[in-house]
Each structure stands twice: as C-alpha cells, then as structure tokens.
Amino acid sequence: LAEKMKKSPAEVIKKLMMLGVLATINQEIDVDTATILAQEFGFEVEVKVEQDVEALFMQEPEDDPADLQPRPCVVTVMGHVDHGKTSLLDAIRETNVTATEAGGITQHIGAYQVEHNNKKITFLDTPGHEAFTAMRARGAKVTDIAILVVAADDGVMPQTVEAINHAKAAGVPIIVAINKIDRPDANPDRVKQQLTEYGLVAEEWGGDTVMVPVSAKTRQGLEDLLEMILLVAEMQELKANPDRPARGTVIEAELDKGRGPVATVLVQNGTLSVGDNLVAGTTWARVRAMMDYKGRRVKKAGPSTPVEVLGFSEVPHAGDQFFVVPDEKTARQIAEKRANRKREEEFKAAMPRVSLDDLFNQIKEGQVKELRVIIKADVQGSAEALKQALERLSTEEVKVNIIHQGVGAITETDIMLASASNAIIIGFNVRPDVNARRVAEKEKVDIRLYRVIYDAIEDVKAAMSGLLEPEY
C-alpha cells in the first residue's frame, strides 16, 4: 500500500498508529482500514474482489428434485474382532459372482457392488468402525447403512458396543447380522436380548431393528440379509443426480510401483468420466483411466459406484472429498493453494515458540539469538525503566530486543505482534483482556505479569542463564 501511494512504510505505519492500529511492515490490513488510511493520504481506494475459485467449487449446488434418480445404497460392515466381518464380506461377494463372470477374479479395491433382485448394493470392503470413523473425522459421510455383525456364539462384546455408538453418532441405520448360526453353541436369542440393552430391539420383539441370522460359512441367510438391506435402503429414498460433475470421497489410496498414485473413490453425486479433472484434499488428478472392482476398464462411473482412478498428482488420503472442476489448471491451482495452506499451518505448529521457561534450552540449541520482548505497563515511566533495564541484560549469545512498548492493557494486537515476531510479552501492573488471553493461548504466546520491576528483570536474567524456576 505504501508503494502504491509512493509513501515510505514508516509514514504509513505512523499514520496507522494514529488511527489506533499497531502494524508491522509486512502485516495485512483489512479493506476498511486500508480505505481510511488511503483517504488520510488523499487517495481513494477501489476495491476489487478476487474470486475464490476454491469456494466456488467447494459448495455443492442444490439439485433440482426433477433431476434426481434412485442410487444404490452404500453399506459398511462393523462389529467385534473375529465375529466374521471379513468372512461375511467375502461370502457375499462370492455368492454374487454370476456364472458368466465365474473365473473372473475380483480385485480388492476397497469396495465392491453386488446385484440382488436387479438392484445394486455397494459394500465398503474395509471392515471395522476405525475406517468408518477416520473418514467421518475428515467430514466424509459415505455410509447409508451399517451392518453390525455379532457372532451368535460370542454375543455382544466391547467393539460391538463401540460400533453401535459410532453408527448412532453418524445417524446411520443399523441392520444386525447375527453370524455363525451354524455353530452348535450359537444362541441368537441371547444376542437379541443383549442388544436390547443398547437400544436395538428386534422387530419380532416389537422393536424396529432388523436382525438377520446368517452364516458366512454355510452362506445361510445371506439372501435374506441382502433383501433386508434393500428394504431398509428403500425407506431412505436414496437419490442423486447423475447428470452433473462428480463429487465423492476417496476410500483407499496407495502408491503403486508401476501405475503411480492409485485411489479408489466412491462417486456420491454426478458422474465421473475419464478425462475429468478433480481435486481431492491437497491433491489433484486428471482421470487417466478408471477400473471397476472387477478390474474392468470403465469410461464412466455414476452415483454410489466405486472406481479405481489413475492420474493423481500425489497419493490422496482416505476420507478426502473430491470434486470435479472444469480444467486441469483450476484443479492444480486449488490443490496447490490447499497444500500451501497446510504447509503453513504445519510450519506454524512446528516453529519453536520462545518462552521464558524454555529460553535457556533454545539459546543452547542455537534456536534463539535474540530475545524479543513487548512491554506493556500502566505508566510510560515504568515501561521505559523496564526497557532500559532489560536491554542491559543482553549478552554475547543473546540480545534482548524490546520490539514494542506501550501503556495500557495487553490487547489482541500485542499478541498478534508477539506471535508474528516470536516475542514474549511482559506486563507491568497491567493484565491481558479476555480476547488477548484467548488469542495468546491459541498462538502460544508467553505472557508474564509483574508488579515489581526487579522481579521482571530477575526472571529474564534467570531464564537467560537457565536458572528460572519453572512456572506451574
């Protein structure tokens, strides 16, 4: 701004201070402040709004109800370890390989589809609530129905309860598959009894939870289970609009030696086509090829379809949500912007913050060569006295640099200045206001409050020589 107005930065900062804004030379100021500031110098500000491409594509435009078509339901299998989740997923998959496809090996891509009564069901192939919850933590909602597998011989176990709670927290309807009913010690009624304690009451007992006795081993009851899944799905009236750019979620991803980054994605709305450009988390892709769960190349994937996608710039994370954008440049631009933002956040989190408690170690490790201090005091005289005394503590190794001193309470602006310049704040007969306290906590800025100048000096001296008693 100073450059544009052909003024020196010092002049601009001075004017800002007169307007009550404490700014450093490379600090951003908001539009309102800039406008007032420019007026002070006799300029008029023209505001140009830079379009945020990311925001433009992030929000999902509402679909016209007329464009919506039924879509297959997406199912996750959860339950206690060894109760048969994997066996059940395998049994369902194998049962549904039709004669013509027999011999065709199904690929493990993290999800598969089966057809029952001419209706498709999509199964997520990573059993367990950990995967489910990890995705949810990333904001992804992919599951329409949770199958809770409970072994009839073992009954409700700790992870059964966890799975129930996770499904409930996500608001996902539960169908109970009482498994291993082929076993002589199977006791389905005991399972039903136990589940009532967690609010799951079987339909035949007057409740509204569908419970199906099955055996992954003998394949008994699997048809019933699929039937019930379709029934519960029907009640949800699941719909999507296939005629729009795709969006969905990354289910699995890895770096393949021959093919580069490979991700299985679940299309949740729209249709994904070969040649599309998409953004997923901090990565982007120009879809080079797509494979279905049988390893067959496909050109298009509609709602609720899992496909393996080639063409990613890097390996995305499971749970990353993706959306298609018009061109490669936009995809790259959004992904890079997000990656930069993430790097900045990580850098900020990793940057060592000075604090008096740790000063000596940081000096020793060579991380700190200068102790920057902001002084706030109740009167100018005290601030000045403190400043001179502290500056005299400078040694060969560490210089004490008072970057700002002022009169009055410690404010948010002081904290931001301290955070930006990695300084500590010393308050003499003043306190931080509520806002400042909150921001200081977030920015991890060390604030020290004193009533006696001598104590402040002693503390800094002790900290510099590693003799400060830690504060609890």
Give me the 355-374 binding string for ligand GDP, x by CB under 6 A, dash otherwise: --------------------
Least distance to ligand GDP from the beta carbon of 228, Å? Answer: 17
Least distance to ligand GDP from the beta carbon of 217, Å? Answer: 4
Mapping DSSP onto H, E and C, the string for 193-251 reads HHHHCCCCCEHHHCCCEEEEECCCCCCCCHHHHHHHHHHHHHHHCCEECCCCECEEEEE
Least distance to ligand GDP from the beta carbon of 204, Å? Answer: 21
Beta bridge pairs of residue 308: 264, 291
Least distance to ligand GDP from the beta carbon of 306, Å? Answer: 20
Cβ proximity to ligand GDP: between 86 and 465 the closer is 86
Is 130 near ligand GDP (CB under 6 A)? no
| The one-letter amino acid at 423 | A
- Out of 216, 301, 356, 464, the residue judged to bind ligand GDP by CB under 6 A: 216
Is 129 near ligand GDP (CB under 6 A)? no
- From CA 448, how far away is CA 462, in angstroms rounded? 14
- From CA 110, how far away is CA 251, in angstroms rounded? 7
Q: Choose the stretch contacting ligand GDP; rule: CB under 6 A; options: 26-34, 212-220, 268-276, 317-325.
A: 212-220
Cβ proximity to ligand GDP: between 89 and 390 the closer is 89
- Residue-wise DSSP of 268-305: EESBEETT-EEEETTEEEEEEEEE-TTS-EESEE-TT-
* H-only helix segments in 49-110: 53-58, 85-95
- Out of 141, 168, 217, 337, the residue judged to bind ligand GDP by CB under 6 A: 217
Size of the site for ligand GDP (CB under 6 A): 16
Classify residue 199 by burial, with Cβ atoms within 10 Å: 0-12, 13-18, 19+: exposed
Least distance to ligand GDP from the beta carbon of 304, Å? Answer: 24
Closest CA to 140 of 74, 46, 212: 74
- From CA 366, how far away is CA 263, in angstroms rounded? 43
Cβ proximity to ligand GDP: between 79 and 242 the closer is 79
Which of the residues 43 through 102 are near ligand GDP (CB under 6 A)?
Answer: 79, 81-87
Cβ proximity to ligand GDP: between 71 and 85 the closer is 85
Cβ proximity to ligand GDP: between 158 and 258 the closer is 158
Q: Choose the stretch contacting ligand GDP; rule: CB under 6 A; options: 39-47, 214-222, 344-352, 449-457.
A: 214-222
Beta bridge pairs of residue 82: none
Q: What share of the chain is helix, strand, coil (3-state, %, to 5)?
A: 35, 25, 40
Cβ proximity to ligand GDP: between 124 and 363 the closer is 124
**Angle subtended at Cα 228 by Cα 155 and Cα 142, rounded to the nearest 5 degrees:** 85
Cβ proximity to ligand GDP: between 251 and 460 the closer is 251
Beta bridge pairs of residue 280: 283, 322
Which of the residues 291 through 320 are near ligand GDP (CB under 6 A)?
Answer: none
Cβ proximity to ligand GDP: between 212 and 263 the closer is 212
The answer for residues whose C-beta is within 8 angstroms of residue 89's C-beta and 6 or more apart is: 77, 123, 125, 127
Least distance to ligand GDP from the beta carbon of 185, Å? Answer: 10
Cβ proximity to ligand GDP: between 71 and 129 the closer is 129
Distance of CA 20 to the CA centre of its chain: 37
Least distance to ligand GDP from the beta carbon of 145, Å? Answer: 18
Least distance to ligand GDP from the beta carbon of 199, Å? Answer: 22
Cβ proximity to ligand GDP: between 218 and 435 the closer is 218
60: its two tokens? 């999902």
Least distance to ligand GDP from the beta carbon of 139, Å? Answer: 27
Please, are residues 214 and 181 in contact by the beta-carbon 8 Å criterion? yes
Beta bridge pairs of residue 345: none
Cβ proximity to ligand GDP: between 79 and 303 the closer is 79
Give me the 158-187 binding string for ligand GDP, x by CB under 6 A, dash otherwise: ---------------------xx-xx----
Least distance to ligand GDP from the beta carbon of 233, Å? Answer: 23
- From CA 397, how far away is CA 362, in angstroms rounded? 11
| SS3 state of residue 181 | coil
| Dihedral angle over CA of 130, 131, 135, 140, nearest 10 | -120
Is 333 near ligand GDP (CB under 6 A)? no
Q: Which residue is nearest to ligand GDP (CB)?
A: 84
Least distance to ligand GDP from the beta carbon of 186, Å? Answer: 8
Residues in touch with ligand GDP (CB under 6 A): 79, 81-87, 127, 179-180, 182-183, 215-217
